Each structure stands twice: as C-alpha cells, then as structure tokens.
A and B are shown apart, each in its own frame.
Chain A
C-alpha cells in the first residue's frame, strides 16, 4: 500500500517529503509526503486525525514543520511564513472560515493588500476589483454586504476570492463541502474546474469519496499521520480509497444510504418526545422555529433534513433547554419539560449531542476523562469531592468502548482530532441513562471509520427503544439512519414522510423551499 502507483511528471508544483509534526503528545505528521502536478485537482484524503489539515497548514506557512522538506515550484521553501506563501501564490481556504464578520465582503477580500488613494483606503476601488474578479472566476458575491449577513455558501466564495485576489496559483481547500447544500456543492465543483482551467492547481482535503471520484485527478491518502497511498482517480474505486484510509474493509453501503428500512416499533409515545406548537425566537428572526409539532416514538429515529439555518439549531436548543421557547410545549412522555432546567431535563432522560462540539459539547482544555463526566459530575462525587478513581475508571471504559484515540484519557481534548473529540461527546451522551436523544450533526467533520461507528451506536440505541431526533445537514446521513424524515424550511416543518417514500430527489425541493407540503403534523 505504501508504493506510489501514480507517478507524475518530473517537476511537481508541490512536493513535500518526510514531514514531521508534533502537537504535545500527538504525532500529527510522521514522514508525510505529497506530490502535486501543476494544473490538477488533487485530493488529500484520510480519516479525521490522519494529519491532512496539519500537512496543508505546513504547506501554507501557518505551521512550521518539525522536520522534512517543502518544495513549491521546485524551490525549497521549508519553514516559510504565510506572507511568503501568499506571495508565492499559495492560498488556503480553511474549514472554519477566516472571515471578519463585521467587515464587508470587499474589505475582507482586500485586507492586507488594500488599494490606497492618497493615504486612505480606496473603498470604491476595492469594490470594483472584487466585482471584476468575481465575474472572471464565476464566484458571485455581494461586494458591499457585511460578511455576517452572508449565507455559508457565499462566505465560502468570499474565502476563495480572497486567495485569488492575492494571485493564488495553488489553492488549498480544507473540507469545503462540509457546510454546503447539494446545489452549492455542484456550483463549487463548477467554480473549481473553471479556476483549474485558468491554470490554478487545487488541493482538496476531504473524506467524502464521491467528491474525490467526481472532481479529482489524483489522490494522496493519509493514515495516522503518514502517507499510505498515492493513486490516480480513474484507476481506483471508492472501496479502494476507503481501504487505504482505514486500513481495512469498510462497508460503504452504509454511507450510500442503502439500508433495509424497517417499520419502527411503534409503542406509542409514552417514553418518546412530543413537541407541540413550538415557536422559538432566533438571534435575528422573531420566529426561527414557527409553530412546529412532531413526535418521536421510542425505538424510532426521526430525521430532520434541511439546509442549515432553517431553524434546526433553534429547535434543538429549545428542546435541550439552551434557548427559551416563546410558546408551545415540549414533553418527554407525559412529563412537561418546557420550563425545566437543563439538569432537570437530563435527569428526566434527555441526552444531547450538540451540533457544535467546540461551543457546546466539550471544554477543550479539560482532559478526556473530565469531559466524559460533564453534566454528570454529581454522580462522580463522594461527599462533594470528585471521585478521581471513579472518573478514571469510567474514562478508561468509555475510551475502549468508543475507540477514543489516543487512549490516554488525561490528554486535553484540544489535542485530539475532530473525530475523536466527537467520539468523546458521543460516548458521554450514550453512556448515561436516557430515553430521548437529540443528535445534531453527529458525524460532522468525522471520518469514514468513525461515521460507521457512530451510526452503529445510534442504531443500537434506537433498537434498545430510545427515541432519537436526528438533525443533519448531510442528507445521506438522514436517509441512512431515519425511520421517518421531516424537512425544515423557514422555521416550519414542511413535510414528514416515512423513510420508504424519501430520496434525495423527493426531499430536495422541500429543502430549497420549492415545494411546500401541507404543514404535516407528524403524530
């Protein structure tokens, strides 16, 4: 597997060899290497924590490597700065956008290389230049709008424009589709192909194999910090890539949304979740959730599909007790929890995998062991003092059961990869007593192997009679796991259907608001 099978021409535009990088105890890159030919779209794939982002941050000058050599255009540039990288035409689009929300699109694009008119910032020229560039590249953005008011797709276009404005000839994209709706993804591929045809080399970090197959020419696969394969896309298959990524056979059928639908064990809602006429105020809109009613029965997964920002976040936060409901009622079985505190909800049997693990799910500077008892710390005390022994025992048990790596549970969660951080959240929420689980984006930024694992865990919980409300921006995930599927658009549930009636084609028009079903009460 370590033999490169796809040789390229004599002068690759990017060549990184023997790259080493440590973060504390974590060895993020161990002799990682990559070679990219000029003018290609190159995929850098691997599980979460495989070291892809680290390798690209080293290439873009954001991180210094501990060892190894970086060449761009045949020149040794090891240890260069971001500024030097930008000058040399290397631009990176980060997974978490690097945009200043309080500045306009044009200001964000030109920041650091502002057009000047007699000592003052030439705003008009900035706008003109951005508009010109926007037309050339096909990246349509409103130049004078504040970035805070953009959709995620627009924000990403601004990110790409930023690199092009600086004359990027090598464009690095870190999981660009993680936040996009299906039409936006298609549009992105169009843009990338056009930019490529204009002579730009593109490196795409991803773990979505269909993307790799669709747009790339060659693939570099990383596992546990090392490069394990270099493949030509047309000579390989998704199964081949997955095997290289994980190091074993992976059941891709699970990912492709082909599952045997089973009729949910409808045992009434005695221990389920009942939401009636719920209205919730959002940060910007009065009715982020607008008169929503549905139930989730024990032994059932109700999936809520929809483009992000249509009220899913507010809905989950209201149920979890993190946001107050304007009106309506939330019940766990017969118990009304509309006004209950978070602790009371947890004690009543509500478990919650929050959508943003950094903001809500974890305390990054706490150890793995401490994060595993958050919210249940009162169960790990003796006479008001934390029982360190019980905490350590619990941590060791969960780390084994949920395959959290590294197995050292005294490590800070900050030092773990995204996938392993998510496993910590999932381990904590699934290991306690609960009857209803809220799972928001449970596999966001998580690799193939972990997705499989997390999906299995959710199914097992369902089969054990738990009621699960799943919200995901990944339509496939919804289709894979759900027994029934609801679509949220504009704060309302616009349709509810059994899994057997649903497909991407059926759900798509509801998600974009093109089709509106009758406000279906999912009783």
Chain B
C-alpha cells in the first residue's frame, strides 16, 4: 500500500515535469534553447485558472492555459527567429515577464497579490489518493506525452525535419526545408506542452499562487539534458526527479534526517545527474544558433 501511495505521488509530481520536458525536448531538438519553460508553465497555470474561474469548467481552463502558453511561446519565437535575438537572453526575459504579468493580472482580476480564488479541477477531493489521480485526464495525457513525442520526433516527417533543423540548419535549408517554419512550430509546440504542465499544477491545487511553478521548468530542462534530448529518456529522468521529490516529502515527515538536507535531495540529484551526463552527451549541434 505504501508503495502504491509512493508511486501515485511520484506520478502526481512527475506530470508537470513530463509536459514541460516534452516541450523542452521538442524545441531543443529544433535548435532552440528552452530556458523559458518555466515562464511557459507559469503562464499556462495562470491562463488555466482564469479560464476555469470564469467558466467553472476545468476543460476550458485547459484550453485557456494552452492559449497562454502559446502566447508566450509566440513571443519567444518571434524574438529569436524573426529578430534573431539571443535565445538565452530571450528565455530569461520571458521567464521574468511571465512572473510579472501573472502577478499584475492576478491583482487586476482577483485583487490579490498572492493567490486566486478556488477554481474547478479534475477528479475528486481526496488529493493524493490514487483514485483521484486516475480520474484526472491530464495525468493520463502526461503519462502518454513522451511516447507520443518520441513517435513524432522519430517517425514523422515533421520530426525528421525538426532533427535536421536542430543539427544542421544550412543543410536542411539547402534541401528546401523551411527552417524557420519548422522552428516556429517546435517553439509553439513546446509552449503548449509546458503550459499543460502549468495547467495541471494549477488545476490540481484548484488555484493560482504567485510564482507557483517554483523552478519546475528548470528541473524539466535538466531532465531533457539528462535524457540526452531523447523523449523517452527525458521521461525517465522526469520520473526519477519526481521520485526523489516524493522521497523527500516522506523523509521530511519522519524527521530522521534534518529537513534542510532532505529538502535538498531533488536538487542535488538534479545537479549530480546533469553534471555526470553533460560532459558525455551531445546537444543538437545548432542549439542556440539562429543567426545564419
């Protein structure tokens, strides 16, 4: 029973990572640095709460969350692809912008600087229970997202072009592949996916709280790197990080180890994992270079 609970909690924590890491893998395979996953997630979380609040429908929340993610991703794409802005600088800017704009709109819409009112969500009330988990369609979607992305990347024409564009854009262009169009699609897709992660978070907690994504976008990016830009491996990395977090929560309750150390576990694991693998892995060759 404990094991089942442990697994359920791991999945619950992993879902936002899976969505965001899928977005990260897609954009990075196309050569666009995904530093802005965090911002996309936060935007998605806020968008979802707005939609759910005004319509009382979780599904409308999903749609509005995705729309918010697409909006931010669109900004990112236009800055980096059309105006050739530095991808890292733009990514950081998008993250800061997302924090600012959600805080501003939170004040405007709900007259609060900390959180939104309670909104609709999926599933029952006993949060953490395996049953509630299974009744949430976003959980199923999150579990399926990496296999689906792997199929798209390795088995479709679009995926082939994404990989070509991320490795050798000049070669792709010389064959008439519309490099920028492929990259726009990949960045928008990554925005939508990461926003689904944020949407899940917000609907799971039935509210938006200021800066609620709390670095999850960066952990998802670490999972992408740890997974060597391969969707399935990145998915495994997400589960691993989520398991570490679950462990941390459990250990915190026991108080055997000082809680400060326990709280570090997921982050230390992330650092160790990424540091151990980064030297040996190879990023898409054209990652971060859009000015050619």
Contact = CB atoms under 8 A, between A and B. Distances in A.
Interface of A: 62, 82-83, 86, 92, 94, 97-103, 107-108, 111-114, 116, 119-121, 123, 162, 166
Contacts of B168: 98-101
B167 interface: yes
A114 B160 contact: yes
A438 B25 CA distance: 43
Interface string B107-141: 00000000000000000000000000000000000
A98 B167 contact: no
Given A98-B170, A103-B164, A103-B167, A119 B156 contact: yes
A62 B175 CA distance: 11
A92 B159 contact: no
A235 B255 CA distance: 94
B163 interface: yes
10 cross-chain pairs, A with B, having the tightest CB-CB distances, nearest first? A112-B175, A98-B171, A83-B176, A100-B168, A112-B177, A114-B157, A100-B167, A112-B176, A121-B157, A100-B164
A62 B174 contact: yes
Contacts, number: 66
Given A86-B176, A162-B175, 8 more contacts: A82-B174, A98-B171, A99-B168, A111-B160, A111-B164, A111-B172, A120-B156, A120-B157
A374 B22 CA distance: 44
Contacts of B160: 103, 107, 111, 114, 121
Contact of A111 (B155, B170, B175): B175
18 contacts: A82-B173, A82-B174, A86-B175, A94-B174, A97-B171, A98-B171, A98-B175, A100-B168, A100-B172, A103-B160, A103-B163, A111-B171, A111-B177, A113-B175, A113-B176, A114-B157, A121-B160, A166-B175
Contacts of B161: 111-112
B159 A121 contact: yes
A242 B151 CA distance: 56
Nearest to A109: B175
A185 to B, nearest CB: 24
Of the candidates B167, B168, B171, B285, the one having the most CB atoms from chain A within 10 angstroms of its own CB is B171
A112 B156 contact: no
Contacts of A111: 160-161, 164, 171-172, 175, 177
Contacts of A98: 168, 170-171, 174-175
Contacts of B285: 101-102
Contacts of B163: 100, 102-103
Contacts of B155: 120-121, 123
Interface string B7-45: 000000000000000000000000000000000000000
Contacts of B172: 100, 111-112
A143 to B, nearest CB: 15
A419 to B, nearest CB: 22
Contacts of A119: 156
Nearest to B164: A100
Contacts of A94: 174
A441 B167 CA distance: 27
A98 B163 CA distance: 14
B42 to A, nearest CB: 33
B171 A99 contact: yes
